[in-house]
Structure 1
Amino acid sequence: MKDIKNIYLIAICGTGMAALAGLLKGEGYKVSGSDAHIYPPMSVLLENAGISVLPGYQKENITGDIDLVIVGNAVSKTNEEVQAVLEAGLDYTSFPEALSRFFLEGRKSLVVTGTHGKTTTASLLSWVLHASGRKPGFMVGGWLKNFNNNHQVPEGDYFVTEGDEYDSAFFDKGPKFLHYRPDISILTGIEFDHVDIFKDLDQIKDAFRKYVDLIRPEGVILVKYGDTNIQDVLGEAVCRVETYGYLDGADWRIGDYRFEGGYGCFSLSYQGGKKADFQLAMIGRHNVENATAVAALCIGLGLTADEINSAFKSFQGIKRRQEVVGVTNGVTVLDDFAHHPTAIRSTLEAVKEAYPGQRLWAVFEPRSATSKRKVFEQDFPDSFLAADRVVFAGLFAPEKIKEEDRLDPERVVGLIRQKGGNANFIAEVDDIVAFIAENAENGDVVLVMSSGGFGGIHQKILDR
């Protein structure tokens, strides 16, 4: 293998690509790259790391002194820089393969995967290992407040990766997580999602089957108990399988759950024997379930319950996950990334529990490739019923979806009303802000949910 010193990343401003760039820079490589969409927080991360980012894609950027090119999955073979790489005969690889090659080889790879909760669970695992002095590396798809970052160069044996099922690159249409050499893994659940990549649930299950098969006999996979889709993919697992959850029958069982004093409090038992009590500085039953998987994994690595609980209590969370953006005139504005019906329901129930007796607004922008399509038109109404007031915005960039495949937000609002909910369809951000300003009352909680920026609506609500 030739000596690699100079690495160039095409589409460097993606969440994962920027994290990888920071990791490589931290390991002493010369790192640069390009992107057509250069904006915070990734642009700030790269600038702070001293990584040069060229705007747009131009063949002149591909110079002969580049030793390796990492190609993001956001660009196709027709990209001008990709064409220049191919013509020059330069070595190139995908983002997940590069992560594996430079950071996972020779380390214990801890991978968190599943339809929901990956970012939170991987972040919490990274913090517990770090706070207990294990000095892990990590690469996560969210912004960890404890680190003010989304990655860390490893100094110890462990590397934590958020393993997603999206495709790797134009030359590798397999899921990213198939590159991550899992030794120990958490699988939070499997549902249909990412309709731009997968045609149905069976295709998603096939991807997870291949992933589970990667874990060696001496490895472990921790899975949510009672998830029938997970059971369908475990058939040929050669590693040890342990389950976690609230239900009787789970190996790692949550008991005595309650939310008090700002903590999710619970006890944890293993196969009937009590292990410890924990206090998690997060809201929501679903996050306690995620934390249970982390506790089980860490106990298996030899951490003490006290070490784990100390980290749980000091966890500051992740940006855009039930994040309090601000309070104005007695109205609290929260930001969350939820865009799948299951995640929306869990998030609303968590906020309702954390703010008892307060009126809850759910303000939703259908923005992700899946949430803009009809696929969840029948599922969305029930997921919003925990909210006292619901506002559905118009679809973001609807022209990217065929008209016959588009979600009809007005129909969803009509179905919510039929089920007894109070819902409105308001297409434009400024009109939503005006509606909330007119109707919100002291003590209300406004939960904004979108997989993107939502036109800066959070600050606009606070500024009214």
Structure 2
Amino acid sequence: MTQKHIHLIGIAGTGMGSFAGLLKAAGHDVRGSDENVYPPMSEKLSAWNIPVVSGYKSENLEPAPDLVVIGNVIRKTNVEAEAVIARGLPYTSFPKALHDLFLVRHHSVVVAGTHGKTTTSSLIAWMLTHAGRDPGMLIGGVPENFSEGFRLGKGEHFVVEGDEYDTAFFDKRPKFLHYKPESLVLTSLEFDHADIYDSIESIEREFDKLTQLAGPRARLYVASKDARLRKIVARHHPSNSIETYTAEDEPGDTIWHAKNIDIRPTGTSFMAFHGTTCIGKVATQLFGRHNVENAMAALAFGLTSGLSTSEVIEALAEFKGVERRQTLRYTIGGIRVLDDFAKHPTEVATTTEAVRSRFRDGRLFAVFEPRTATTARHFFQAAFAEAFDHADQVVIASVGRKEIPEAERLDTLRLAQDLRNAGKTARTIEAIDDIVSFLVAETREGDTILLMSNGGFGGIYRKLEAALRAAHPGDLV
């Protein structure tokens, strides 16, 4: 690979920052700019010796780079992007650069879907690594078996989390349409990203295009419970190239399935089957039926990609999870505090169910911040009212996007009332400090607090820890 001087505009986002680290690991001279450069990404970029300029300006392009990668948060009117185009500098998008500089030389393993793609892609990357296959990877989260969400491997495979969000201001296609999968895992398909999609059908059309990009020799792994996905893949691929998987009690004609699922505080175990053949008992450090499904996807991939049964089962047992996915941050005064990235009604429902199954000794306080472009709107007003069935108490924080017109926003007061009408103890609390005060006053030993947000949640993790420590001096696990 020819080494290049590469400049990234919008470098401090999760995806762009990790891609910058991957480029640096590959030997490129990397630098970048961003308007908001905060920890933890600012600290990571510094540790990787990647210079970052705060603020966008044309002078950031001196000396002229060989290539400019423009992030999807950058608008056409951005002064630095305008300078790139005016000066005729070579530029591209993050997903196009990922394909051209990395995926094109590897067997591309793409994991796509509304839910579960971060955990499933992390499982597959770990499975290949554990088996000595030395894969490359670029994943939206940080798998706990790795130090970062990227890996520069020398092996055949490169595992990438395929995102359906748009590419850049000059390319409005989904990112995953750049990846040309040779192995494609499809986890789920539901409505999301209301800022760029107007219906589930519009998202379905993009997944249809993705399956068409998978070549004639590609193998596809499809969650069998998703009728839309099954219909899409059957339209373009023969049945002998499609591997279906499930964690449902009634697998039907699904090829790979799990039985005897047992969720305990230390993890989840189940029996894995290929058709009527029992593969063996699988023990994982993950929690919830949805994670059994993710594990079955990875297991199916591993066993159809040349890995032995023992390699697959051992890798699943040693997989530690992904940061911000049911992560136990601390236990103070016997009160557990967990952090999760849940941002969609389905994710809230599966996460609360998993945490309830994991910790059964006390009450579950579910605290949710609706802050994505979709969840901050009223699209899921009714769905959220049914998403907290496994919580004992629910706290709904303020909508995290004040730029959305009030008439279009999720009505948090109505949501809390709907939950109360369904028999839940629910309330809305706007200020983060007030949420912290409520939780400290109401929780007791044995209770679990589940904080759900895809952002920093106003620093609630640090504030709650300090308040709990003050209320329970000397007691921190």
Question: If the length of structure 1 is used for normalisation, what is the TM-score?
Answer: 0.97
| Letter paired with 1:139 | L
Matched residue, 2:169: 170
Q: Given the superposition, is the C-alpha separation of residues 231 and 301 from structure 1 closer, same or farther in structure 2, using an over 3 Å criterion?
A: closer
Unmatched tracts of structure 2, length 5 or more: 468-477
- In the TM superposition, residue 77 of structure 1 has moved relative to its aligned partner by 1.2
| Letter paired with 2:232 | V
Matched residue, 2:159: 160
Matched residue, 2:357: 353
| 2:138 is the counterpart of 1:134 | no
Q: How does 1:435-450 map to 2 (within 5 A)?
A: 435-450=438-453
| Letter paired with 2:454 | S
Deviations 1:351-400, CA, capped at 9 Å, x for gaps: 000002321010011111111000000110111121000001111132x1
Q: Provide the identity percentage.
A: 42
Matched residue, 1:254: 258
Deviations 1:65-110, CA, capped at 9 Å, x for gaps: 3110011001011111111111110110000000000110121000
Deviations 1:398-430, CA, capped at 9 Å, x for gaps: 2x1122111110100000011111101111111
Q: Any idea what SS the aligned residue of 1:427 has? A: coil
State the alpha-carbon separation in 1 of the partners of residues 345 and 183 from structure 2. Answer: 29
Deviations 1:151-198, CA, capped at 9 Å, x for gaps: 011211110000010000111000000011100111111000010110
Q: How does 1:310-389 map to 2 (within 5 A)?
A: 310-389=314-393
State the alpha-carbon separation in 2 of the partners of residues 274 and 315 from structure 1. Answer: 22
Contact 2:144–2:321 (8 Å) recurs in 1: yes
Matched residue, 1:118: 117
Runs ≥4 in structure 1, deviation > 3 angstroms?
none
Q: Any idea what SS the aligned residue of 1:379 has? A: helix
Q: Any idea what SS the aligned residue of 1:155 has? A: coil
Unmatched tracts of structure 1, length 5 or more: none
| Letter paired with 1:216 | G
Q: Any idea what SS the aligned residue of 1:298 has? A: helix
The partner residue of 2:272 within 265, 268, 271 is: 268
Q: Any idea what SS the aligned residue of 2:145 has? A: coil
| 2:304 is the counterpart of 1:303 | no
| 2:231 is the counterpart of 1:243 | no
- In the TM superposition, residue 283 of structure 1 has moved relative to its aligned partner by 0.8
Matched residue, 1:405: 408
Q: Any idea what SS the aligned residue of 1:243 has? A: strand
Q: How does 1:33-48 map to 2 (within 5 A)?
A: 33-48=32-47
Deviations 1:308-327, CA, capped at 9 Å, x for gaps: 12122221211110001101
- In the TM superposition, residue 248 of structure 1 has moved relative to its aligned partner by 2.5
Contact 2:265–2:359 (8 Å) recurs in 1: no
Q: Any idea what SS the aligned residue of 1:266 has? A: strand
Deviations 1:276-311, CA, capped at 9 Å, x for gaps: 221111111110110100010011111112111212
| Letter paired with 1:458 | Y
Contact 1:391–1:425 (8 Å) recurs in 2: yes
Matched residue, 1:193: 192
State the alpha-carbon separation in 1 of the partners of residues 144 and 3 from structure 2. Answer: 33
- In the TM superposition, residue 47 of structure 1 has moved relative to its aligned partner by 1.0
| Letter paired with 1:324 | L
State the alpha-carbon separation in 1 of the partners of residues 364 and 236 from structure 2. Answer: 43
- Bigger drift between 297-306 and 267-276 goes to 267-276
| Letter paired with 2:380 | F
